[in-house]
């Protein structure tokens, strides 16, 4: 059976993003607050520097396999919407729509809301804030970044570049301080492996791997702006792979630096592991330095998501599967302003109401479900569309996508087993998109929407 012809990729967006911009969008979205907190969760699950480091390296390797796989799709379909386009071409418009529906209503806005609230709470490090004030600051940060990105993808990308370089610089400073200033010790690295047999490590190591994989999440962000990247056949795959490798190296070294300063045992008992490590080598100013680093990281991660996320409903509307207004592009700034504002409103409601954690828990498995389907799309399209122009072909095919699919399936199944009720509700939220899909399909080319 031959695949259906690709949907038209005509667009009102401009190709203004360079390779550097694309790398910074991905890396900046990945580096949020997780690296300042998750190393403690990993140390608690698998005490021992060797196993901790292995978790970060293996989690990074899996993320790189996903990046290598999706990079092939990004080069073949360099258009707005990223995974929406890949799933549409591989499995039909229904799967693309269900992904876009879930990303628009839950995955992206819940993540933006959570990071915005974390940002506001760290503002409270410098001045006391009530809970209502925290939520107001969170909402204001969402709209400020939205308005900035509405004024042009170039402005949004430049802001992303500055914030990402700043947060990478902060992490490099932390690593340098850990190894060059007094406070750390090789004695803290003496416990390489946890006690017990290898069989006893498997379960805890799985827990650590789940935390690590979520910390690496975001390596696909730049694909959403595929319609605005210059020379996409070359720059899209390079940006995905380079940004993932950069973050893997950073995360692994930062985790090792924390262990050098604190030891795995102290890391496991810390609620603010980065602040505790910084306090050892930087003294009283260490906590303030970490607070500033987290503020910059949160802003950079949300700026990347706010810039890229609206391209999904934009692409859906262009394909006739969503409200026509979501495809409107500003005549001067060439940005999907309605989609940007829609995302901001949803994220702000979630931030103000505090419901983002509940919703995100419900669909926590959805990201890797769709990641796995995207990796499988590489194999499916190789068979169904062998003549498709592929400026980049996944290195190590077919093992590369197959290994990533296996890990994605393991993560989804583990999540469903651990939280069956939440997963069932999440599946229901995804399937709630079905009536909308059939409505827009019947309406034809979006003529039934506003």
Give the pLDDT score at 450: 54
The torsion defined by the Cα of 230, 236, 237 and 241, in degrees rounded to 10, comes to 120
Give the distance from CA 438 to its chain's centroid: 29
Element containing residue 268 per DSSP (H, E): helix 264-268
Residue 261 belongs to a domain: yes
Give the pLDDT score at 7: 41
Give the pLDDT score at 448: 44
* Residues 62-114: tens digit of each pLDDT: 999 999 999 999 999 999 899 999 999 999 999 999 999 999 988 999 999 99
* Residues 179-221: tens digit of each pLDDT: 999 999 999 998 888 777 777 788 888 888 888 988 898 888 9
Give the pLDDT score at 11: 59
Distance, CA of 279 to CA of 276 (rounded, Å): 5
**Radius of gyration, alpha carbons of the chain:** 21
* Residues 253-291: tens digit of each pLDDT: 999 999 999 999 899 988 889 999 999 999 888 989 999
Residue 10 belongs to a domain: no
Distance, CA of 349 to CA of 178 (rounded, Å): 40
* Residues 374-417: tens digit of each pLDDT: 999 999 999 999 999 999 999 999 999 999 999 999 888 888 88
Residue 4 belongs to a domain: no
Lowest mean pLDDT, pick from 218-222, 306-310, 353-357, 361-365: 361-365
Task: Say whether 17 sits in a helix, a strand or coil.
Answer: strand
Query: What 8-state DSSP symbol labels residue 229?
Result: B
Distance, CA of 305 to CA of 70 (rounded, Å): 18
Identify any residues that bridge with 80 across adjacent strands, giving them in sequence order: 225
Residue 9 belongs to a domain: no
Residue 112 belongs to a domain: yes
Distance, CA of 153 to CA of 356 (rounded, Å): 27
Give the pLDDT score at 352: 94
Question: Looking at residue 359, which CATH number applies to its domain?
Answer: 1.20.1740.10
Total-model pTM: 0.89
Instruction: Report how many domains make up the chain.
Output: 1
Instruction: Please give the average per-residue pLDDT across 237-250, as a whole number.
Output: 94
Q: If we measure between CA atoms, which residue out of 320, 324, 319 comes closest to residue 336? A: 324
What six digits make up the tokens of 375? 């990796």
Domain range for 114: 19-443
Residue 373 belongs to a domain: yes
* Residues 135-188: tens digit of each pLDDT: 999 999 999 999 999 999 999 999 999 999 999 999 999 999 999 999 999 999
Res 51 pLDDT > 50: yes
Residue 448 belongs to a domain: no
Band (pLDDT 50/70/90 cuts) for residue 445 is very low
Residue 162 belongs to a domain: yes
Give the pLDDT score at 134: 94
Q: If we measure between CA atoms, which residue out of 81, 109, 229 comes closest to residue 157? A: 229
């Amino acid at each position: 059976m031959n695949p259906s012809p690709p949907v038209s990729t005509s667009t009102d967006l401009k190709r203004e993003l360079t390779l550097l911009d694309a790398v910074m969008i991905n890396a900046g979205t990945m580096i949020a607050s997780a690296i300042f907190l998750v190393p403690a969760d990993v140390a608690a699950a698998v005490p021992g520097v060797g196993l901790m480091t292995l978790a970060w390296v293996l989690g990074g390797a899996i993320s790189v396999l996903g990046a290598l796989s999706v990079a092939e799709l990004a080069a073949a379909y360099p258009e707005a919407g990223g995974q929406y386009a890949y799933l549409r071409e591989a499995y039909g418009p229904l799967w693309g729509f269900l992904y876009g529906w879930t990303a628009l209503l839950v995955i992206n806005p819940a993540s933006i809301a959570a990071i915005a609230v974390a940002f506001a709470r760290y503002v409270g490090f410098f001045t006391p804030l009530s809970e209502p004030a925290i939520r107001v600051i969170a909402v204001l940060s969402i709209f400020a970044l939205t308005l900035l990105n509405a004024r042009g993808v170039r402005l949004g990308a430049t802001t992303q570049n500055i914030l990402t370089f700043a947060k990478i610089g902060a992490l490099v400073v932390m690593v340098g301080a850990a190894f060059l200033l007094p406070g750390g010790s090789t004695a803290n690295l003496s416990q390489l492996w946890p006690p017990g047999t290898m069989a006893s490590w498997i379960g805890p190591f799985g827990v650590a791997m789940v935390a690590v994989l979520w910390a690496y999440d975001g390596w696909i962000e730049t694909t959403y702006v595929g319609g605005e990247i210059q020379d996409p056949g070359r720059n899209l795959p390079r940006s995905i792979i380079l940004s993932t490798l950069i973050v893997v190296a950073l995360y692994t070294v930062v985790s090792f630096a924390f262990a050098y300063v604190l030891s795995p045992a102290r890391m496991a008992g810390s609620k603010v592991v980065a602040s505790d490590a910084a306090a050892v080598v930087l003294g009283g100013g260490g906590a303030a330095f970490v607070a500033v680093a987290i503020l910059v990281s949160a802003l950079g991660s949300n700026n990347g998501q706010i810039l890229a996320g609206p391209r999904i409903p934009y692409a859906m509307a262009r394909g006739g599967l969503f409200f026509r207004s979501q495809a409107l592009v500003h005549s001067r700034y060439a940005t999907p302003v309605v989609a940007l504002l829609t995302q901001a409103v949803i994220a702000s409601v979630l931030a103000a109401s505090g419901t983002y954690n509940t919703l995100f828990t419900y669909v926590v498995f959805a990201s890797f479900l769709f990641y796995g389907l995207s990796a499988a799309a590489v194999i499916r399209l190789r068979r169904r569309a062998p003549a498709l122009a592929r400026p980049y072909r996944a290195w190590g095919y077919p093992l590369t996508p197959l290994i990533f699919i296996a890990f994605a399936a393991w993560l989804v199944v583990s999540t469903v087993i651990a939280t069956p009720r939440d997963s069932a509700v999440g599946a229901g939220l995804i399937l709630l998109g079905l009536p909308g899909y059939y409505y827009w399909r019947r309406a034809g080319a979006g003529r039934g929407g506003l």
